[in-house]
């Protein structure tokens, strides 16, 4: 079989790079004629280090090219991490073009050499790296988009882009209409209050998301980190105006060998399903008054807990939270003493390892898609508390469409200046519900855990989908 090389271009955000590496590992494991080069960009203030990425794989059929981080001063006028991410990608476009072009030249000239170069089969481009699709078109290399969120959200992007471009509908008006909207990729009508603010905010929607969506239509296919059995409705909702969609998941961030971690050791000694994990993604944080409501709820519920608590970003941190030096600064007086032995408050939590431990019984989550997949993979139900990005829709899908989570909130939105506090009572109710050992939701999540694992097995739905994708690339 002809040997092929693929170029992977992940977006420089934590949740995206991990998934891309896992996808690369999956390709390599199954298809011995493939090699992969991952082009790694970095945000100027990003915590993802070169060593961190290199440590995930030692396979010599996966190569990394690390671009040096750019100077933060170049991005002073980017209002959010999202805009900065786009700007970083745009600034790398010329060098990526050069790399792809020289790779094609080397292949064309290699026919007579003793060291033949594999053909460049395709570019696999992260959902936010769409400027690279222009490069691929220009140089005539097939492109596949790698969508790191779910199929239902992808469907909503296509739906709203069609309304905007073909029916000239003002999406922000629609979102503000306070009605329910029938979006084909969701089984239930979507209340406008759970539509993410990116659809409302003209800058976000018109300048960023509608641009990505138009470019997706030019791709040869869209690879989605999901699986058929989870998102059957959404996956069947795509029409022939969208490129073929390949659900190949669930792909989780590569597992590192378990560290000798004090929290994990403590967790290991707790009774089965007795510990609640509270973790809000790579950029999750709350203002101090919301932290206090949360602390009151945790304490009143009486459950054991592990809580990832992070400090709101400073002005110049562009949305990245930092760590507290002393949690007493923000927690109610005496909280740490009263809960000592019963719970742990820390900054970065080894989330996947915590979810993997049988002592963990429930998960209060912002519903970032990686966290949702990890909850299902390890069979730990979520109580939903979305914060930003597309998370409100993910929470809605999990609670209403799929009955795989319970609700603390589905429409909390940190971008909304009038966002009310979620009260300790509401949080406590959600905690009790998610920790209920006999709930129907817990039983369904357990079943989905087995289904998720089967999807990746030989002849499972995602296994078959990846084969179809590689046939298409060949």
Q: Which residue of the chain is nearest ligand UPG when measured via CB?
A: 368
C-alpha distances (whole Å) from 136 to each of 89, 120, 216, 223, 472 are 14, 11, 13, 17, 17
Give strand ranges (E) for 32-83.
34-40, 62-66
Residues that bind ligand UPG (CB under 6 A): 14-15, 148-149, 253, 279, 281-283, 308, 348-352, 368-371, 374, 389-391
The reply to whether 16 belongs to the active site is yes
If the CB atoms of residues 282 and 360 are measured against ligand UPG, the closer one turns out to be 282
Report DSSP letters for 99-161, one per residue.
Answer: HHHHHHHHHHHGGGSSSPPPEEEEEEEETT-THHHHHHHHHT--EEEEE-S-HHHHHHHHHHH
**Tokens in use for 434?**
């998610």
Any catalytic annotation for residue 164?
A: no
Q: How far apart are CA 25 and CA 280, in angstroms?
A: 27
Partnered with residue 126 across adjacent β-strands are 146
Is the Cβ–Cβ distance between 330 and 288 less than 8 Å?
Answer: yes
Rounded to a whole number of angstroms, the minimum distance from the CB of residue 368 to ligand UPG is 2
| CA dihedral of 441, 443, 449, 450, whole degrees rounded to 10 | -150
- Which two structure tokens, joined as six digits, stand for 336? 């740490």
Question: At its nearest, how many Å lie between ligand UPG and the CB of residue 434?
Answer: 17
Q: Which two tokens stand for residue 229?
A: 């059995």
Residue count of the chain: 474
Q: How far is the CB of 348 from ligand UPG (least distance, A)?
A: 4
- How far is Cα 27 from Cα 124, in angstroms, rounded to an integer? 12
Instruction: Name the catalytic one among 46, 86, 92, 126.
Output: 126
Rounded least distance, CB 183 to ligand UPG, Å = 17
In sequence order, what DSSP letters do the residues of 14-39 get, joined into one string? HHHHHHHHHHHHHHHHH-TTEEEEEE
Q: Is 384 helix (H, G, I), strand (E, B) or coil?
A: strand
Least distance CB 293 / ligand UPG (angstroms): 20
CB of 33 to ligand UPG, least distance (A): 30
Count CA atoms within 13 Å of residue 78 on its CB side: 22
Catalytic residue among 16, 92, 233, 366: 16
CB of residue 308 to ligand UPG, shortest distance in Å: 4
Q: Are β-strands 304-308 and 275-279 bridged in parallel, bridged antiparallel, or unpaired?
A: parallel
Contacts of residue 469, defined as CB under 8 A and 6 or more positions apart, other chains included, come to: 144, 221, 223, 246, 248
50/42 Cα distance (integer angstroms): 9
Among residues 148 and 397, whose Cβ is nearest to ligand UPG?
A: 148
Which positions are catalytic? 16, 126
């Amino acid at each position: 079989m002809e040997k092929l090389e693929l170029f992977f271009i992940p977006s420089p955000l934590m949740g995206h790079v991990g998934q891309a590496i896992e996808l690369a590992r999956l390709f390599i494991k199954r298809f011995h004629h493939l090699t992969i080069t991952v082009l790694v960009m970095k945000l100027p203030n990003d915590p993802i280090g070169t060593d961190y990425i290199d440590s995930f794989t030692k396979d010599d059929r996966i190569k990394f090219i690390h671009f040096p981080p750019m100077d933060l001063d170049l991005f002073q006028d980017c209002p959010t991490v999202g805009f900065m991410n786009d700007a970083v990608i745009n600034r790398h476009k010329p060098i990526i073009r050069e790399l792809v072009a020289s790779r094609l030249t080397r292949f064309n000239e290699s026919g007579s050499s003793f060291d033949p170069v594999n053909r460049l089969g395709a570019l696999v481009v992260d959902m936010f790296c769409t400027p690279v699709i222009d490069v691929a078109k220009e140089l005539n290399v097939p492109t596949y988009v790698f969508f790191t969120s779910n199929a239902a959200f992808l469907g909503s992007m296509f739906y709203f882009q069609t309304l905007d471009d073909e029916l000239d509908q003002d999406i922000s008006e629609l979102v503000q209409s306070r009605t329910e909207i029938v979006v084909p990729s969701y089984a239930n009508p979507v209340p406008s209050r759970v539509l993410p603010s990116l659809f409302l905010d003209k800058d976000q929607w018109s300048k960023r998301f509608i641009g990505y969506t138009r470019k997706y239509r030019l791709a040869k296919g869209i690879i989605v980190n999901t699986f058929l059995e989870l998102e059957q409705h959404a996956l069947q909702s795509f029409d022939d105006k969208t490129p073929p969609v390949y659900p190949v998941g669930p792909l989780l961030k590569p597992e590192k060998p378990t560290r000798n971690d004090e929290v994990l050791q403590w967790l290991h000694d707790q009774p089965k399903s007795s510990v609640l994990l509270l973790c809000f993604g790579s950029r999750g944080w709350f203002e101090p008054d919301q932290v206090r409501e949360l602390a009151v709820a945790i304490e009143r519920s009486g459950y054991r807990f592990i809580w990832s608590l992070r400090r709101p970003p400073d002005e110049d941190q562009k949305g990245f939270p930092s760590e507290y030096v002393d949690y007493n600064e923000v927690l109610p007086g005496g909280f740490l003493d009263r809960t000592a032995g019963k719970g742990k408050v820390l900054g970065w939590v080894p989330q996947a390892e915590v979810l993997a431990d049988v002592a963990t019984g429930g998960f209060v989550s912002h519903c970032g898609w990686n966290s949702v997949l990890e909850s299902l993979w390890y069979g730990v139900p979520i109580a939903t508390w979305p914060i930003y990005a597309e998370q409100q829709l993910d929470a809605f899908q999990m609670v209403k469409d799929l009955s795989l989570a319970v609700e603390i909130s589905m429409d909390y939105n940190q971008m909304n200046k009038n966002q009310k506090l979620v009260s300790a009572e509401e949080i406590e109710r959600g905690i009790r519900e998610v920790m209920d050992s006999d709930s129907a939701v817990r039983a369904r999540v357990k079943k989905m855990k087995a289904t998720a694992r089967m999807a990746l097995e030989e002849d499972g739905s995602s296994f078959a989908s990846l084969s179809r994708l590689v046939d298409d690339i060949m």
